[in-house]
């Protein structure tokens, strides 16, 4: 069974899906929690020089799988903004420690995960008007 998680929510047509009462689901969790993982990405992501020079804007989205044992696999760039930004993000996330796997009805399951990264004028866009300077 492959569940799809965005952050830590099941998503269906841009809305959070209701979990049937007979199903007990636990979503996968990155090392140090979701906020810790985000902080780790922000601290360690190296924006490619060409992307900075081009002052890229937009949303980069990658998909990957969290295996039953917490290992990460099957990386794919779902939405690319070019300049090797997607490859750099995948290279970084591959270095992540294993995650806590997802569970369904008490059994570890493979889960899909989507991770977005926003860019504004060649820097990471963290919040509405906040950018990481590097």
Residue 89's domain comprises 34-123
- Give CA–CA dist 134/126, Å, rounded: 13
100-125: average pLDDT:
95
CATH of the domain at 50: 3.30.1150.10
pLDDT recorded at residue 130 = 36
Q: Where are the beta strands (DSSP E) in 1-134?
A: 2-6, 9-12, 15-16, 25-26, 58-66, 72-79, 102-104, 107-120, 123-127, 130-131
- In a domain, residue 22? The reply is no
pLDDT recorded at residue 92 = 97
23-32: average pLDDT:
90
Q: Give the chain's domain count.
A: 1
Q: Residue 23: pLDDT above 70?
A: no
pLDDT recorded at residue 89 = 97
Q: Residue 34: pLDDT above 90?
A: yes
């Amino acid at each position: 069974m492959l569940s799809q998680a965005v952050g830590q929510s099941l998503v269906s047509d841009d809305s959070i899906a209701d979990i049937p009462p007979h199903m007990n689901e636990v979503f996968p969790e990155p090392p140090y929690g979701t906020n810790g993982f985000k902080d780790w990405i922000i601290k360690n992501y190296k924006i490619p020089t060409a992307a900075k020079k081009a002052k890229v804007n937009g949303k980069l989205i990658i998909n990957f799988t969290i295996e039953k044992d917490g290992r990460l696999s099957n990386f794919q760039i779902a939405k690319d903004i070019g300049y090797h930004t997607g490859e750099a993000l995948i290279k970084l996330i591959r270095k992540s420690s294993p995650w806590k796997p997802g569970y369904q009805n008490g059994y570890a399951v493979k889960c899909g995960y989507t991770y977005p990264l926003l860019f504004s004028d060649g820097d990471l866009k963290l919040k509405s008007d906040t950018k990481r300077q590097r």
